[in-house]
Amino acid sequence: MKEISRRNAIGTIAAGTVATGTIISGGCDSQKTMTKKTLKKYPNEHFYNADGSFNADKAKAAYYEMMEFYSYPIVDRIKPDSEEFWTLDFGLGNFMEAGMAGIFWVNNLEHNYFGHEIYLLPGQMIPEHWHMPTEKAGPKLEGWHLRYGSVTLYGEGTPTPGVDERIPPLHNKIAKARTETVLKPGEVGMLSAPKARHFMLAGPQGAIVSEYATYHDGDGLRFTHPDAKL
């Protein structure tokens, strides 16, 4: 496993997984064919109504396209009629920079464990945040398993050289987490410490990330950006 405060790559990519944003599903000819495909990108205004409100249906449609791109199984719990599959722009009005979709597969307070799937379109980030202890639970601890695409994790620690050039504009001046860890498909990154600030940024072909964690209590969630909210 990796902690966010380290950059060294670990693990290997098994045959049949996705590498560099493409699907390797057969021999050389198949791989060459898949590497030519590119995930469709939309302008930010595509996801907003005429009155400026966020259009969750259009957002979900874009995530379904990404799932199909990666041959990711669209099970009943994340289909359009599901109330469990959600998406949001964190109230910042810039969905293509700060936005995500997700589903809580499990969130068990009694035994203190949590399973979450994170979906990020190309270039999307989850805003910088941290988790404080609450009356129900301690500060949430997390690990992130990259399944498809590419993702960069940002955590507290010694800033990675050149990091300022890579943090999106919404967070470029305010982010405290400036230590980068780039994950390859199949690798896992870890939160460096309880209550540590962190965020993640998807690569040019988006990202699908499985999160393993302790119980998630939304009351303990804090954002660095003063306008960010759920």
Note the pLDDT tens digit of each residue in 154-187: 999 999 999 999 999 999 999 999 999 999 999 9
Q: How does residue 36 score in pLDDT terms, banded at 50, 70 and 90?
A: low
Beta bridge partners of 26: none
Boundaries of domain holding 138: 2-223
Question: Is residue 57 in some structural domain?
Answer: yes
What CATH number did the domain enclosing 78 receive? 2.60.120.10
Give the CA count within 13 Å in the CB-facing half-sphere of 72: 24
Q: In degrees, to the nearest 5, what angle opens at C-alpha 81 toward C-alphas 75 and 85?
A: 60
Question: Is residue 43 in some structural domain?
Answer: yes
Position 35 pLDDT exceeds 50: no
Domain count, the chain: 1
Q: How does residue 3 score in pLDDT terms, banded at 50, 70 and 90?
A: low
Question: Is residue 20 in some structural domain?
Answer: yes
Question: Is residue 229 in some structural domain?
Answer: no
Is-contact 118 142, C-beta < 8 A? no
C-alpha dihedral (13, 15, 17, 22), degrees to nearest 10: 100
* Nearest-angstrom CA–CA distance, 30 and 183: 24
pLDDT digits (tens, 9 = 90+) for 110-136: 999 999 999 999 999 999 999 999 999
SS3 35: helix
Question: Is residue 206 in some structural domain?
Answer: yes
SS3 142: strand
Q: What pLDDT sits at residue 155?
A: 98
Question: Is residue 230 in some structural domain?
Answer: no
Q: What pLDDT sits at residue 38?
A: 87
